[in-house]
Amino acid sequence: MLDWTDRHFRYFVRQITRRTLLYTEMVTTGALLHGDRARFLDFDPAEHPLALQLGGSEPAELAACCRLGEQWGYDEIDLNVGCPSDRVQSGRFGACLMLEPEVVADCIRAMRDATGLPVSVKHRTGVDHRDSYGALRDFVGTLAGAGCTIFIVHARKAWLQGLSPKENREVPPLQYQTVHRLKRDFPELEIVINGGITSLDQSLEQLQRVDGVMIGRQAYHQPWVLAQADRRIFGEPGTAPTRHQVIDRLLPYIDRERARGTPLQRITRHLLGLFHGCPNARAWRRLLSQEAHRRDAGSSLVARAAALVPESQ
């Protein structure tokens, strides 16, 4: 979710669901240790609960980043061992690390020694031709032996060569039964399933077999899929806000960010899918897309665009 789940998107989604655990974009250890830390780590307190997702393969560097994440106030640290992009592979992290379980185990030990926060691992069901259930079971067992108790499993294997990152999300077949089998074999671990899940109905069905569900791109393109999550998943009383109430909550945030010099388009690019399926949703998207880049554009533009959609939505 690089360049997608930034702090503006997370603040927006937090106006839809209070309880769902949110994740940052994957941040490399090099970016945190040698770059602008505040740029990658800053977040609004309203974003809690929030996990920092790291990419790296050097235990000492990951440990240092865990300490930074804890200092910044994150709730969980996640190690990405599932991204198959060429750029990630060239840095020796992401899905290629599934071929080196002992390296990942060393990373987990160092991370757990560095922080008291929960440490999770996001991974695939396999890589290239190393995709047997036995190899996956051994990978999870090795990491569990290093102290990892939370596994977020994208229910597809990854091809490191020959498929683009987009194709790696679509071409390898989903293997939900493999993730369910992992939970049966490791009942003491927290197993979270990811991949191809687009609704709360599907999520509730999966929660009969696993401990959690991660929804990625669907939640980005159609964020209203999360509107009933607090009630249906977490048992919270009350009703969800309307889409227009979400916009009303977001306007003061937009004013604050514009006062800090944040271009409006950095925020509104995340909002385009809010009214998906509603009357005049196209007019909402068009107005934001055409005018948010203007230097004088602010919260009034967002309110004007929302007014194009009937209030019942």
- Residue 228's CB is within 10 A of a number of other CB atoms, namely 15
Supply 52's token pair: 């920092």
How far is residue 248 CA from its own chain's centroid? Answer: 25
What's 7-232's CATH class?
A: alpha beta
- In angstroms, the CA 211 to CA 5 distance is 23
Q: What is the DSSP letter of 148?
A: -
- In angstroms, the CA 118 to CA 120 distance is 7
CATH fold for domain 243-306: Four Helix Bundle (Hemerythrin (Met), subunit A) (1.20.120)
φ/ψ (deg, to 5) at 76: -160, 150
Within 8 A by CB and 6+ apart from 150, the residues are: 76, 118, 119, 120, 121, 189, 190, 192
Task: Respond yes or no: is residue 96 known to be catalytic.
Answer: no
- Tell which residue, 242, 253, 243, has the closest CA to residue 299: 253
- Tell which residue, 45, 113, 54, 34, has the closest CA to residue 73: 45
**pLDDT given at position 94:** 82
3: left (phi over 0), alpha (psi -120 to 50) or beta: left
Contact 120, 78 (CB under 8 A): yes
CA distances from 273 to 135, 171, 306 (A): 39, 25, 12
User: Per the residue annotation, which of 65, 66, 83, 107 is the catalytic one?
Assistant: 83
Peptide bond into 101 cis (omega under 30): no
- In angstroms, the CA 157 to CA 171 distance is 10
Q: What are the domain boundaries of the chain?
A: 7-232, 243-306
> pLDDT truncated to tens, each residue of the chain (313 aa)?
677 899 999 999 999 999 999 999 999 999 999 999 999 999 999 999 999 999 999 999 999 999 999 999 999 999 999 887 665 555 577 889 999 999 999 999 999 999 999 999 999 999 998 999 999 999 999 999 999 999 999 999 988 877 777 786 778 899 999 999 999 999 999 999 999 999 999 999 999 999 999 999 999 999 999 999 999 999 999 888 999 999 999 999 999 999 999 999 999 999 999 999 999 999 999 999 999 999 999 999 999 999 999 987 5
